[in-house]
């Protein structure tokens, strides 16, 4: 069993607090561009938190895509070894969720904050949950793929 | 280093963009938001200019804590001379443009001059440009949807702002700077939209901001008001306001209880129509409702609202008891970029003129009785497009009354030209004074005094008697300073019962590293109110403008729990004397020499 961050867009208020706390936890700064979770708003009444599912709803395409072997599965959690990363962005293209970015010389992706994801801790509406990926509603991952596909050329890749 | 010691200036006349240094002294004395904007306008805005000319100056300043981790701190203040009041102009909204400006490395954005054709401004860190826009003529939903692509935060106007409607708002990522017609100022500059995206790190002074953020996050969500505030939004107390206080202005303030309120009460409509909550940026206490109509005449209506003031202005004020019409009216106002309060009150005013025969069917082009939903929707459209009678009403009720003549001014409800929000000041005497003294005209958010009058207590105030004039002068002055401080810091006033004043020094220190006592912070709010007053004096406003409309001073409340109450001119004058004295101003409301000196030294 691997617990992951699961989005529930029907509860998301577009407050984007997750995008504030994520970079603060990892980098001790506020910088929306450095967030490993992004809330996208493809329509007036839809806001969708997008982040890595660690293989649920995808085939961990990033691992195979990385020519340097910098991305690995560690006990079910997909991790990037930044020392090996050459910023080729193959993983960015491969990820169906647009959940990896290459930005300022680094690959950015959810690492679950070591087991206490701050985005979940600060989500007052339960729009993000930390739960067993097996138990999560698979339909959500499909929706996320679709939303991201329409949106990513404008949003994710231009960060 | 938290502050960016510079401001970005966009000159639409010269088509130039440059930065100007903001001194350490200025920022440490004003912190940001409202206090900074006021200081900058004091220096930069020439008095007696035409607010719809290139001489007007727009300043946008994020609150001091906007872009920090403090929950709800997203507020960004917009300033310009108001075309509605011809005086001090400020309006605050909760989008994400503030955090993006700070991420670009600016403490403020100033826009001068006027485009010769429709333009938009795009800012990305040090890159900023004035671009031709193809969004002119588009509504705000479409405009922000298109412009936000690529991760930009936006501020844009709708058709109303383009048409220089003096009650036009600016849309900020689904939130609005509603009041005083700043949308028309953007329109006069031919400026359709501003898009901002920054990628600089915002570094806060304290080491454990997450711990402080956590504490305030828990304070917010564990507060007893959290459940109802998020379930029903700001209209949560609408029924209580009618049945227990009798101070819900109705039928152009001819009544103070709206009997047909069943459907407009959020306890009725939220479970039926709200599909989810909406929040301002960084707010973990979402008060917005995503109102969605799925079938029937208004199928397809989607609007973030209606919040309390809109339930009054497009509901009780115009005797509209149909919540679907109200939501549709709210959506139209948002799409056209119209202030819902001023729009509804102005239409309510026109409805009274129609029923009194001062306006006829020929004047209006349709029957305009109270409670006519179709007429309400059509009038909103006419105002946005300045069509027929809409062209007159687009001037706001004060100016429209002057144009219409025939004693119409007797029925226009406004202070300094701004239409009031949903607090019947005749039964809330502190609020009455606060309407009169508010530097931007009849406003509940310059003082928040309705809360004290309605509940009898808040913060250090106890046993406030809403029918008494006693002690109101000093109390209103203090509350104005508190509220200016919130607008300076950028935290949400709807959460002020959580962010009590004593807690603010901790937040300021953690984020900026600057140590302030409660008194010192309140002094920033106080000095900001001196500046607003000084600007109004320069514009030629006098004690006579700190007044109330005849409906509040001459017509008493006819029914309900506040029956028989009114605020006489004499009562207002006594409270005004007390208020000026509490501020250290002379009997004409002029700040004293030391205060002027302190402001000049900023």
pLDDT digits (tens, 9 = 90+) for A93-122: 999 998 998 887 778 899 999 999 999 999
B279 touches chain A (CB under 8 A): yes
Gap between the Cα atoms of B223 and B576, Å rounded: 36
| CA distance, residue A103 to nearest chain B CA (Å) | 10
Gap between the Cα atoms of B494 and B308, Å rounded: 12
pLDDT digits (tens, 9 = 90+) for B509-528: 999 999 999 999 999 999 99
Inter-CA distances, B520 with B39, B40, B473, B482, B514, Å: 17, 20, 21, 11, 11
pLDDT value at position A50? 95
Domains of chain A: 3-158 (3.30.70.20)
Q: Which helix (H) or strand (E) holds B11?
A: strand B6-11
pLDDT value at position B238? 98
pLDDT value at position B54? 97
Question: What rounded mean pLDDT belongs to chain B?
Answer: 97
Query: Chain A contacts of B301, Cβ < 8 Å?
Result: none
**Cβ–Cβ of B68/A30 closer than 8 Å?**
yes
pLDDT value at position B52? 98
pLDDT of A153 above 80: no
Query: Chain B contacts of A158, Cβ < 8 Å?
Result: 150-151
Q: State CA B310 to chain mean position distance.
A: 12
Sheet strands (E) in chain A? 3-7, 38-43, 46-50, 71-74, 77-80, 101-102, 107-108, 128-132
% pLDDT > 90, chain A? 78
Question: What rounded mean pLDDT belongs to chain A?
Answer: 92
Sign of CA dihedral B379, B384, B387, B393: positive
Domains of chain B: 6-197 (3.60.9.10), 230-245+248-411 (1.10.569.10), 425-600 (1.10.599.10)
Provide the pLDDT confidence category of residue A42 given band limits of 50, 70 and 90: confident
% pLDDT > 70, chain A? 96
Sequence-ordered list of residues with C-beta below 8 angstroms from that of B21, at least 6 positions apart, any chain: B5, B6
**Cβ–Cβ of A13/B99 closer than 8 Å?**
no
A33 touches chain B (CB under 8 A): yes
pLDDT value at position B310? 98
Residue spans of alpha helices (H) in B438-549? 449-455, 472-489, 504-512, 518-538
Query: Chain A contacts of B145, Cβ < 8 Å?
Result: 43-44
pLDDT value at position A82? 87
pLDDT value at position A157? 46
**Cβ–Cβ of B150/A154 closer than 8 Å?**
yes
pLDDT value at position A149? 85
What single DSSP character describes residue B69? S
Q: Read off φ and ψ for residue B481, nearest 5 degrees.
A: -70, -40
Sheet strands (E) in A10-91? 38-43, 46-50, 71-74, 77-80
B99 touches chain A (CB under 8 A): yes
Q: Mean pLDDT throughout A7-16?
A: 97
Residue ranges of chain B with per-residue pLDDT less than 50: none
For residue B378, give both structure tokens: 């059509």
pLDDT of A56 above 50: yes
pLDDT value at position B1? 76
pLDDT of A59 above 80: yes
pLDDT value at position A154? 61
**Cβ–Cβ of B277/A13 closer than 8 Å?**
yes
pLDDT of A155 above 70: no
pLDDT digits (tens, 9 = 90+) for B457-480: 999 999 999 999 999 999 999 999
Query: In terms of CA atoms, which chain A residue is nearest residue B226?
Result: A124
pLDDT digits (tens, 9 = 90+) for A137-147: 999 999 999 99
B518 touches chain A (CB under 8 A): no
**Cβ–Cβ of B221/A31 closer than 8 Å?**
no
A121, A123, A159 member nearest B151 (Cβ): A159
A130 touches chain B (CB under 8 A): no
**Cβ–Cβ of A45/B275 closer than 8 Å?**
yes
Q: For residue B355, give the nearest of B299, B411, B393, B303 by alpha carbon.
A: B411
């Amino acid at each position: 069993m691997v617990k992951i961050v699961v989005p529930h867009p029907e509860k998301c208020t577009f407050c984007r607090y997750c995008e504030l706390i994520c970079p603060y936890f990892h980098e001790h700064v506020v910088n929306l561009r450095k967030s490993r979770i992004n809330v996208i708003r493809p329509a007036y009444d839809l806001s969708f938190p997008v982040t890595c599912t660690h293989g649920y709803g995808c085939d961990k395409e990033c691992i195979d895509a990385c020519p340097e072997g910098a991305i690995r599965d560690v006990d079910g959690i997909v991790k990037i070894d930044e020392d090996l990363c050459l910023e080729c962005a193959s993983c960015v293209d491969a990820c169906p969720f647009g959940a990896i970015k290459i930005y300022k010389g680094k690959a950015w992706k959810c690492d679950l904050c070591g087991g206490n994801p701050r985005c979940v801790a600060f989500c007052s509406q339960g729009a993000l949950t930390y739960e067993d990926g097996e138990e999560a509603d698979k339909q959500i991952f499909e929706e996320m793929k679709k939303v991201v596909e329409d949106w990513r050329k404008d949003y994710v890749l231009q960060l | 280093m938290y502050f960016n010691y510079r401001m970005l200036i966009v000159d639409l006349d010269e088509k130039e963009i440059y930065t100007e240094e903001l001194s350490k002294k200025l920022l440490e004395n004003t912190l940001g938001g409202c206090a900074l904007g006021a200081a900058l306008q004091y220096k930069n805005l020439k008095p007696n200019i035409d607010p719809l000319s290139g001489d007007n100056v727009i300043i946008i300043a994020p609150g001091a804590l906007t872009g920090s981790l403090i929950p709800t701190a997203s507020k960004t203040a917009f300033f310009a001379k108001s075309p509605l009041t011809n005086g001090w102009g400020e309006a605050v909204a909760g989008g994400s443009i503030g955090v993006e400006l700070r991420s670009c490395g600016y403490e403020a954005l100033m826009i001068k001059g006027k485009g010769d054709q429709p333009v938009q401004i795009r800012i990305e860190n040090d890159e900023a440009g004035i671009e031709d826009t193809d969004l002119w003529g588009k509504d705000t939903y479409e405009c922000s949807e298109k412009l936000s692509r690529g991760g930009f935060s936006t501020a844009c106007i709708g058709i109303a702002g383009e048409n220089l409607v003096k009650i036009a708002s600016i849309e900020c990522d689904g939130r609005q700077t509603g009041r005083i017609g700043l949308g028309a100022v953007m329109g006069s500059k031919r400026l359709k939209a501003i898009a901002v995206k920054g990628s600089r790190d915002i570094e806060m002074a304290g080491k454990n901001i997450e711990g402080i953020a956590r504490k305030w996050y828990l304070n917010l969500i564990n507060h007893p008001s959290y459940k109802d505030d998020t379930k029903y939004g700001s209209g949560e107390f609408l029924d209580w306001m009618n049945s227990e206080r009798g101070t819900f202005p109705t039928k152009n303030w001819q009544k103070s209880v709206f009997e047909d309120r069943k459907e407009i009460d959020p306890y009725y409509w939220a479970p039926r129509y709200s599909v989810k909550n909406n929040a301002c940026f960084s707010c973990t206490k979402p008060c917005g409702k995503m109102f969605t109509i799925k079938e029937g005449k208004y199928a397809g209506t989607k609007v973030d609202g209606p919040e309390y003031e809109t339930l009054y202005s497009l509901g009780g004020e115009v005797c509209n008891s149909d919540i679907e019409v109200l939501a549709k009216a709210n959506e139209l106002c948002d799409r056209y970029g119209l202030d819902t309060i001023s729009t509804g009150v102005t239409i309510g005013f026109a409805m009274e003129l129609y029923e009194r025969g001062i306006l006829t069917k020929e004047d209006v082009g349709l029957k305009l009785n109270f409670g006519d939903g179709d007429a309400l929707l059509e009038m909103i459209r006419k105002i946005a497009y300045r069509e027929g009678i809409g062209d007159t009403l687009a001037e706001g009720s004060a100016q429209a009354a002057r144009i219409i003549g025939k004693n119409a001014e007797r029925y226009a409800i406004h202070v300094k030209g701004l239409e009031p929000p949903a607090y019947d000041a005749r039964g809330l005497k502190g609020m009455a004074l606060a309407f009169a003294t508010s530097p931007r005209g009849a406003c509940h958010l310059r003082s928040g005094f309705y809360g004290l009058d309605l509940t009898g207590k808040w913060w250090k105030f106890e046993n406030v008697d809403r029918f008494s004039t006693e002690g109101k002068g000093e109390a209103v002055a203090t509350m104005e300073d508190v509220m200016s401080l919130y607008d300076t810091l950028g935290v949400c006033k709807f959460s002020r019962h959580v962010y009590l004043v004593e807690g603010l020094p901790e937040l300021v220190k953690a984020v900026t590293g600057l140590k302030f006592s409660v008194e010192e912070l309140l002094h920033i709010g106080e000095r900001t109110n001196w500046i607003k007053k000084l600007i109004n004096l320069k514009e030629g406003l006098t004690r006579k403008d700190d007044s109330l409309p005849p409906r509040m001073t001459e017509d008493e409340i006819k029914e309900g729990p506040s029956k028989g109450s009114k605020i006489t001119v004499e009562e207002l004058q006594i409270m005004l004397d007390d208020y000026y004295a509490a501020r250290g101003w002379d009997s004409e409301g002029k700040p004293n020499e030391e205060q002027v000196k302190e402001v000049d030294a900023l």
